[in-house]
Amino acid sequence: MAIYEKINERKAPSGTKGVMHWVRDNLLSTPLNVALTALGIAILFWIIPPFIKWAYVDANFIGETREDCSSGGACWVFIRMKLDMFMYGFYPSIERWRVNTVYVLFFALIAAFKYLKSSVLKIIFAHIYFIAGFILVHGGYLGLELVPTDKWGGLMLTILVAAVGIVCAFPLGVILALGRQSHLPIIKSISVTYIEFIRGVPLITILFMSSIILPLFFPEGMTFDKLLRALIGIAMFEAAYIAENIRGGLQSIPKGQYEAGDAIGLSYWQKMFLVILPQALKVAIPNLVGVSIALFQDTTLVLIIGLFDLLAMVRLSAADSYWLGYETEGYVFVTFIFWAFCYSMSSFSQRLEKRFNTNLR
Amino acid sequence: MLTLLRNQKVRGILFQLLTVIGLVAFLWYIGVNTLTNIEQRGIQTGFGFLNGTAGFGIDQSPIAYTEENTHGRVFIVGLLNTLIIAMAGIVFATLLGLLIGVLRLSKNWLISTLARGYIDFFRNIPLLLQILFWYNVVLRAMPSPKQSINFFDMFFVNNRGLYFPLPDYNTTFFAMVASLGIALIGIVALNMWANKRKEESGEDFAVVPYAFGLLVLLPIVAYFLSGANLHFSIPELKGFNFKGGKTLSPEFLALTFALTIYTATFIAEAVRSGIEAVSHGQKEAAVSLGLSPYQSLKFVVMPQAIRIAIPPIINQYLNLIKNSSLATAVGYPEIVTVFAGTSLNQVGQAVEIISMTMLVYLTISLLVSAFLNWFNHKMKIKER
């Protein structure tokens, strides 16, 4: 009987595992790769240390006046002193708790959405939120002092324009998407014309139209607030893009679903709202988040028609004769805010996409 | 009657009729209101204003323009400037986008991470913010003309723009331009011939070295044949500003930078997803047929990747053209700035002017989508 000896286990051959191997494989595999890695490191060294030196090491954080910014780096004192303006515009400072309450209520709404099962209740809650939000921010009711819309500004206005734009554009977008897929020729051609017209022109021309031409459309004496005009333009614009994304969702629903809806005797609207749209919207959600990101970026355009959103507030503050020359800090600050909002939304949409993809398998 | 209402066809017609009546009534209502409002405010109607004198200057115009010219001329100048900025943006965004897209797929971890960082950073910042940043922060921080940044005494950068030499338009210059055109036609013909030969005999023909040869040799031959008389007008500091050569204004530069950098992120993503969408089996099939990596890229991966990547890239071109309207924020004289801006303020005929401006963009969009439909049809995989 043969005797088998146990052989001691050996280490993995050097150069297939560990940090060194990873570096060799991923960074230094060919001469070209070595050169590229060197180039990459050079770019990093060229950008990051000077930026850290400017924005942190040499920067001024403490103080309240221009004289406190003496070290040559970034003057964050400027941002600190103007922060209230960046956040709320010219909204009166004693009334700002009202805006903050609306922010807090938003999280309450999200929490309520997580725990509520009934979609009817959800819809009611959302409506209550929007009405309460409007009363709180605008005032004029319930003993709250009226704050006219030309005092609204800063990040608050940016968020408001984006949120109201999406919420108002969504139902219109759903209707347009259904219209485009409809077999009724007139409905279809009206929807197609609207969608293709809006998608064919830049937002700025639509904003010009809503701010200059819209008042001409209605009888004398019927005036529209500047903010309302901008919101109408943005909602009209965004509806076309939302419609196209929902159409993508509608097209991905197999024909059998429509036939099944017909077979159990549902009416057109029942079929759409109970069978088709719930599935189509689920498919369309990642793209709809993409649309929301684009809209959030597009809200900056309202500064061209004279509203004071976050970017406009920063431009205005940088033109303040006392703080002249700190434009860079202002732009870096807005860049950071917009980037943080958009990046978190886009990673959210990527997560959603992954989750939905696995569901299909 | 009631049974008629339950008939699907009848209901469809009824529903459409109601929609049309509602829409017509609404349009009628706003039409009547607009006419009365315009009359009350004493605004003129019609397109007669296009023949009226504009009375304002435009500092950058590709065609001759003075204050005495008409608003119609302003429209043309604005349109041409829109096309110029769009062309510049499309060319540079494509080059940068292709580069970033390829780097994004690099096996080198550092490079692909940097490319990803570039994409994630710039696509999440509003374009208007980027334009204002380049214009107000970077270009305004450039030195005054006297302290211009100097490259080889030929290129100068200062806070009034970028100055570069321009060849004089003489026989030699035109001969060289013509020879470049001939070289391009020659390359296309050569490529067609090589493809045909390959289909017939299977033999490869390396077009690239010949193409480069044509591109270099023909202009050189043209240079000497036409008298070797190429002169450059070089920008020179005279007094407080530069004279000679060609100037690119800070507005133009800020717009081009921002449009290029922003749009390149989307083009890079389109390139990446196009290449990644080619299924792995295709690459394995290419390897098992014995194709070299280069051949597999050229004959298997690229033809399929291009089919997927081109439509989104063309859509980005369209977005870029529409986004060029943001020029109005920095005052580059394209159509929205000069026509829907200055002309509108002077004439006040908002309905006509904004409709014309929208029509310009609409025409461009429709032309591009017509091209896209044609392209998609042509590129469709022909199944038997």
Domain locations along chain B? 2-42, 95-168+231-332
Q: Which of B342-345's residues contact partners 24+ apart within 8 Å by CB, and which partners?
A: B342/B54, B342/B56, B342/B74, B343/B54, B343/B71, B343/B74, B343/B75, B344/A212
Q: How far apart are CA A283 and CA A277, in angstroms?
A: 10
Number of DSSP helices (H) and strands (E) in chain B, helices first: 14, 8
Beta-carbon-side half-sphere exposure of residue B371 (alpha carbons within 13 Å): 14
Burial letters B139-156, b for 16+ CB under 10 A, else e: beebeebeebeeeeeebb
Q: How far apart are CA A157 and CA A151, in angstroms?
A: 10
- Its CATH class, for the domain covering A153-360, is mainly alpha
Q: Indicate the DSSP class of residue B145.
A: G
- Provide mean pLDDT across the span B226-251: 76
Which residues of A fall within a CB distance of 8 Å from B121? 339
Task: Look at residue A1 in the predicted model and tell me its pLDDT.
Answer: 67
Q: How far apart are CA B75 and CA B360, in angstroms?
A: 10
Q: How far apart are CA B243 and CA A313, in angstroms?
A: 38
Distance between A91 CA and the closest CA of chain B, angstroms: 23
Which of these, A186, A169, A337, lies nearest to A244 by C-alpha position?
Answer: A169
Q: How far apart are CA A253 and CA A284, in angstroms?
A: 11
Task: Look at residue A360 in the predicted model and tell me its pLDDT.
Answer: 45
Q: How far apart are CA A101 and CA A242, in angstroms?
A: 30
pLDDT for residue B120 is more than 80: yes
Task: Look at residue A136 in the predicted model and tell me its pLDDT.
Answer: 84
Q: Helix (H, G, I), strand (E, B), or coil: what is residue B51?
A: helix
The residue with greater pLDDT, B86 or A123, is B86
Mutate which of B8, B79, B272, B358 to test chain A, going by most A C-beta atoms within 10 A? B358
Q: Helix (H, G, I), strand (E, B), or coil: what is residue B278?
A: coil
Interface of A with B in 324-343 (CB under 8 A): 327-328, 331, 334-335, 338-339, 342-343
Which of these, A106, A273, A240, A250, lies nearest to A165 by C-alpha position?
Answer: A240
- When CB atoms are compared, the residue of A33, A185, A205 closest to B108 is A33
Please answer yes or no on whether B19 and A209 come within 8 Å at the CB atom.
Answer: no
Place of tokens 């929490």: A111
Q: How far apart are CA B187 and CA A258, in angstroms?
A: 54
Number of cross-chain residue pairs from A and B with Cβ atoms under 8 Å apart: 153
Using CA atoms, how far residue A303 sits from A5, A85, A158, A215, in Å, is 82, 15, 10, 19
Over residues B336-374, the pLDDT tens digits come to: 998 888 888 888 888 889 999 999 999 999 998 888 888
Distance of CA A345 to the CA centre of its chain: 6
Which of these, B71, B81, B7, lies nearest to B345 by C-alpha position?
Answer: B71
- When CB atoms are compared, the residue of B110, B120, B326 closest to A37 is B110
Q: 3-state secondary structure string, chain A?
A: CCCCCCCCCCCCCCCCCHHHHHHHHHCCCCHHHHHHHHHHHHHHHHHHHHHHHHHHHCCECCCCCHHHCCCCCCEHHHHHHHHHHHHHECCCHHHHHHHHHHHHHHHHHHHHHHHCCCHHHHHHHHHHHHHHHHHHHHCCCCCCCCCCHHHECHHHHHHHHHHHHHHHHHHHHHHHHHHHHCCCHHHHHHHHHHHHHHHHCCHHHHHHHHHHHHHHHCCCCCCCCHHHHHHHHHHHHHHHHHHHHHHHHHHCCCHHHHHHHHHCCCCHHHHHHHHHHHHHHHHHHHHHHHHHHHHHHHHHHHHHHCCCEHHHHHHHHHCCHHHCCCHHHHHHHHHHHHHHHHHHHHHHHHHHHHHHHHHHC
pLDDT (tens place) for every residue of chain A, 361 residues total? 678 888 888 877 766 667 777 887 777 778 888 888 899 899 999 999 988 888 888 888 887 787 777 777 888 888 888 888 888 888 888 888 888 888 888 888 888 888 888 878 888 888 888 888 888 888 877 777 888 888 888 899 999 999 999 989 999 999 999 999 888 889 999 999 999 999 999 999 999 999 888 888 888 777 788 899 999 999 999 999 999 999 988 888 888 999 999 899 888 889 998 989 888 888 888 888 888 898 899 999 999 888 898 998 988 888 888 888 888 888 999 999 999 999 998 888 888 777 766 544 3
Mean confidence (pLDDT) of chain A: 86
Distance between B139 CA and the closest CA of chain A, angstroms: 12
The residue with greater pLDDT, B377 or A173, is A173
Place of tokens 């679903």: A257
pLDDT for residue B243 is more than 80: no
Domain locations along chain A? 153-360
- Provide mean pLDDT across the span B291-314: 86
Q: Does A209 touch chain B (CB under 8 A)?
A: yes
Interface of A with B in 58-87 (CB under 8 A): none
Q: Helix (H, G, I), strand (E, B), or coil: what is residue B353?
A: helix
Beta-carbon-side half-sphere exposure of residue A304 (alpha carbons within 13 Å): 28
Q: pTM (2 decimals)?
A: 0.87
B370 Cβ contact list (under 8 Å, min separation 6): none
Which residues of B fall within a CB distance of 8 Å from A203? 322
Task: Look at residue A246 in the predicted model and tell me its pLDDT.
Answer: 92
Task: Look at residue A361 in the predicted model and tell me its pLDDT.
Answer: 37
- Provide mean pLDDT across the span B317-326: 93
- When CB atoms are compared, the residue of B16, B36, B329 closest to A304 is B329
If one counts every other C-beta atom within 10 angstroms of the C-beta of residue B307, the result is 18
Q: Does A221 touch chain B (CB under 8 A)?
A: no
Task: Look at residue B212 in the predicted model and tell me its pLDDT.
Answer: 85
- When CB atoms are compared, the residue of B12, B40, B121 closest to A184 is B12
Interface of A with B in 284-303 (CB under 8 A): 293, 296-301, 303
Strand B241-243 versus strand B246-248 pairing type: unpaired
Which of these, A304, A312, A308, lies nearest to A330 by C-alpha position?
Answer: A312
Please answer yes or no on whether B351 and A213 come within 8 Å at the CB atom.
Answer: yes
CATH architecture of B95-168+231-332: Orthogonal Bundle (1.10)
Strand B161-164 versus strand B155-158 pairing type: antiparallel
Tokens of B9: 């066809």
Q: What are phi and psi of A350, to 5 degrees?
A: -65, -40
- When CB atoms are compared, the residue of B19, B106, B126 closest to A300 is B126
The residue with greater pLDDT, B22 or A135, is B22
Q: Indicate the DSSP class of residue B193.
A: H
Tokens of A223: 């005036």
Q: How far apart are CA A155 and CA A299, in angstroms?
A: 11
The residue with greater pLDDT, B228 or B100, is B100
Task: Look at residue A357 in the predicted model and tell me its pLDDT.
Answer: 64
